[in-house]
Chain A
Amino acid sequence: MTCTASYDLILSKLERNSTKDRDDADYLFRSRKLDSTTLRARYKEELRPYLVKEKWHDKTLDLWIEIFEGRPT
């Protein structure tokens, strides 16, 4: 799986945001050594314009990035 596909996969799970989604996204983020700046940029450009509750999802992304970065790799 390419890095681009990994970002896509993480963003595809953001709306549902179940514990399982967070765990899967966390695993992908750490194992692929992804970058939160790129994730935020991809979210802002490619997903956010199509969301209904943008601010809600902004907070979800913040929560996810905190989880990804708060754990040892």
Chain B
Amino acid sequence: MTAQELKSARLAKGWTEAQAARRLKVSQGYLNYLEHGKRTLTPGLLQKATAVYGLSPETVPLPVTFTPRPAPHEELFESLAKLGYPGFAYFRSQAPPKNPREVLLTALSQERLDAGVAEALPWVVLRYGQDDPWLVENARRFNLQNRLGFVVSLARRIANRQSLKSRSKALLRLEKQLEESRLVKEDAFYRPPRTESEKKWLRQNRSKDAVHWKLLTDMKPAHLQYTFL
């Protein structure tokens, strides 16, 4: 976010520098410096400004490199609620919002996901997904491209059904980027099969997209509860 964008965000709220500074918990002088490019906006303050000014979570800074880590279900519920996912709208938290791309990769890197979180991911892609080097490169670094590709395929099918042409095109571009590094190894999405019979059943009954992305999952657009933006 540039200094000018920071100023525009404040003006859009109709706040004076002093009013905004109070909400951001900085001095008015420091905010003035930030808005004139005389000080650099730190990632922490940018995260705070996103929440205070009600900006898109896409403006939240991303780490240079993504590192997968185990994330508790509650943390993912909270992050998805902050992104505006209707399925977790009841979740209230004071935590600052996270960038949707980071939330997406964090969720995809989990070995097991809560069903509600798994169902939320196509919605995240539908709303925020784009042909983005950070997302594609970090997905590749941790072999998450097939899981991401599958979620993008689901989101694109939903975009097509709703005639969201520009979203559909953007998602197709992202899918093509991931396609270049599609893995041959079979993987699971949401959770690994519990028994050999379930594995066999999934192999026989998965969608064409799941076959293409070499994933053991039976998730289909019809299973998703929230598909409208």
Q: Mark A28-70, 1 if CB is under 8 A from B, else 0.
A: 0000000000000000000000000000000000110011001
Chain A hits for B166, CB < 8 A: none
Interface residue from B197, B220, B223 paired with A63 (Cβ < 8 Å)? B197
Pick the contact of A19 from B191, B195, B197 — CB < 8 Å? Answer: B191
Closest B residue to A69 by beta carbon equals: B195
Give complex CA distance A14, B124 in Å. 29
Contact B198 A18 (CB under 8 A): no
A23 to B119 CA separation, bound complex (whole angstroms): 14
B185 interface residue, CB < 8 Å from A?
no
Interface size on A, residues (CB 8 A): 15
Chain A residue, CB-CB nearest to B225: A20
Against A, the Cβ 8 Å flags (1 = close, 0 = not) of B117-128 are 011000000000
Q: Are B198 and A23 in contact (CB under 8 A)?
A: no
Contacts of B194 in A (CB 8 A): 26, 67, 70-71
Count of chain B residues with a beta carbon within 8 Å of a chain A beta carbon: 15
Q: Contacts A67-B194, A70-B194, A71-B194: A19 and B201 contacting too (C-beta < 8 A)?
A: no
Q: Which residues of B contact A70 (CB under 8 A)?
A: 194-195
With contact pairs A63-B201, A66-B197 given, residues A19 and B119 touching in the complex (Cβ less than 8 Å): no
Q: Is B85 an interface residue (CB 8 A)?
A: no
Smallest CB-CB separation from B200: which chain A residue? A63
Identify A18's interface contact among B191, B195, B219, CB under 8 A. Answer: B219
Q: How far is the CA of A23 from the CA of B198 in the complex (A)?
A: 12
By a beta-carbon cutoff of 8 Å, the part of chain B in contact with chain A is 115, 118-119, 190-191, 194-195, 197-198, 201, 217-220, 223
Q: A16-B223, A22-B198, A67-B194 are in contact. List 5 more A-B contacts (CB 8 A).
A: A18-B220, A19-B217, A19-B219, A24-B115, A66-B198
User: What are 17 A-B pairs with beta-carbon distances under 8 A?
Assistant: A18-B220, A18-B223, A19-B190, A19-B217, A19-B219, A20-B118, A20-B119, A22-B198, A24-B115, A26-B194, A62-B197, A63-B197, A66-B195, A66-B197, A66-B198, A67-B195, A70-B194
